[in-house]
Every structure is written in structure tokens, then in C-alpha cells.
Amino acid sequence: MKFKTIACLVLVGMSINLLLVRDAHAYLDPGAGSALLQGLLAAVAAIAVVAKLYWHRLLRFFGFRKKMTDINQTTSQDDQKKSKDNKSA
């Protein structure tokens, strides 16, 4: 059988299984809610740390800051203009 045929059969089988599922009658204790809250807070903290690590890259990507090479080039051009002005004066 081809891979696509097998994948299609598995997908159909899983879909049928989900449609025929009965009630689980599961008990969620307070510890489950606490674990869910802890996981959400950990995800928020992880996103904050990643944003802090890549903050300057994000600003450059969105155009709020220039690249360091652009800043160096404009600074060197300004220095050259100043030195020319000082020599002519």
C-alpha cells in the first residue's frame, strides 16, 4: 500500500474513534487546575525570556532600529565630513 493510502485510513479511523467516544467520567481535582495554571505561567515566562533575549533583533526586524553596520557607516561618513570641514577651515 502507498503511504497516502495508509495515512488516509489512519485519519479516517481516528476520526471515527473520536466520533464514537463516550463520556469519560473523569475527576479533575484541584491539583489538576493548579498544574494547568503553573503550565500557563511557565509558558508566559518562557515567552518573556525569549522576547528579552531577541528584543533588539525584533526591533531591527520591524524597522524601529537600524542595523549596527548602518549605524557604523553613517558615523564614519559623519566623521569624514567633519574632518574635511576642519581641514578646509
Separation between Cα atoms, residue 9 and residue 32, nearest integer Å:
35
Distances (CA, A) of 32 to 16, 37, 39, 42, 70: 29, 9, 11, 15, 52
- Structure confidence by residue, pLDDT tens digits, 2-44: 888 899 999 999 999 888 877 777 788 888 889 999 999 999 9
Tell me the C-alpha distance between 38 and 63, whole Å.
35
H helical segments located in 1-89:
3-19, 30-53, 55-61, 68-88
pLDDT of residue 60: 84
Q: What is the pLDDT of residues 43-65, one digit of tens each?
A: 999 999 998 888 888 888 888 87
Residue 70, pLDDT above cutoff 70 = no
pTM for this model (two decimals): 0.43
Q: What is the per-residue pLDDT for 30?
A: 82
